[in-house]
Amino acid sequence: MTPSPPLLEVLERARRLGVLGPGPVLEHVDHAQGFVVALEGLAPGSRVLDLGSGGGVPGLIIAEARPDLWLVLLDSLERRVALLTEAARALGWQERVSTELARAEDLGRVPAWRGSMDAVTARSFGPPATVAECAAPFLRVGGVLVVSEPPGDVDRWPAEGLAPLGLVDEGSPAPGMRRLRQTSECPEVYPRRVGLPAKRPLF
């Protein structure tokens, strides 16, 4: 998929401002197509949370490919959230793409947000245990977590590590992607307070 000129302009600006990783913008877009493929089964009207949205990849790519979904772009840095908010407005998507300035560990403990998402996406958010603990509280039972994976066949998602969070690994739905299913409600003890998922990983 080639992004529309307005989206390409938004992403190029994000790259110039240093909130999108190195490399050509179109390489980021191509990689994000894996998320779109992994979310193909989502019904219209589904809610998707993008963890650590940064410069808007994959969140904005998903929003353009799936105008039938509701997207929440979450980041903990005010500068990034301001840029994402401006981007959603410039693209005319503000009615279906919202932004949140918060740490995932904090927002995941808010009752209104728990179990409220049909899918969570994560690209370069952190190691598997951190991503899983921060994502699971947002997912409804039956919802999916889609994560970009580094090259290689190393098993980074052990069943015994995921089980306490209610997650089950479903394998790779697209090259470079991993999909996990929320098969039971995430216990209220998760996520732990800010920083602990990374400092004391569950697996």
Residue 154: the pLDDT is 73
- Closest Cα to residue 62, out of 139, 150, 174, 186? 174
Strand partners, 179: 146
Written as one string, the DSSP assignment of 125-175 is S--HHHHHHHHGGGEEEEEEEEEE--SS------HHHHGGGTEEE---SST
Residues 6+ apart with CB under 8 A from 4: 64
d(CA 186, CA 183): 9
Residue 153: the pLDDT is 63
Residue 155: the pLDDT is 85
- The residue count of the chain comes to 203
Residues 89-108, mean pLDDT to the nearest whole number: 97
Burial status of residue 203 (CB atoms within 10 A of its CB: 0-12, 13-18, 19 or more): middle
Residues 191-203, mean pLDDT to the nearest whole number: 97
Residues 96-113, mean pLDDT to the nearest whole number: 98
CATH class of 5-199: alpha beta
Taking only the tens place, the pLDDT of each residue in 126-177 is: 999 999 999 999 999 999 999 999 887 678 999 999 999 999 999 999 999 9
* Residue 48, phi then psi, degrees to nearest 5: -125, 130
Q: Are strands 139-148 and 177-182 parallel, antiparallel or unpaired?
A: antiparallel
Domain boundaries, the chain: 5-199
Taking only the tens place, the pLDDT of each residue in 39-51 is: 999 999 999 999 9
Record the pTM: 0.96
Residues 6+ apart with CB under 8 A from 203: 128, 129, 158, 160, 161, 162
Helix (H) or strand (E) holding 29: helix 25-38
Residue 66: the pLDDT is 97
- Closest Cα to residue 55, out of 7, 108, 115, 5? 7
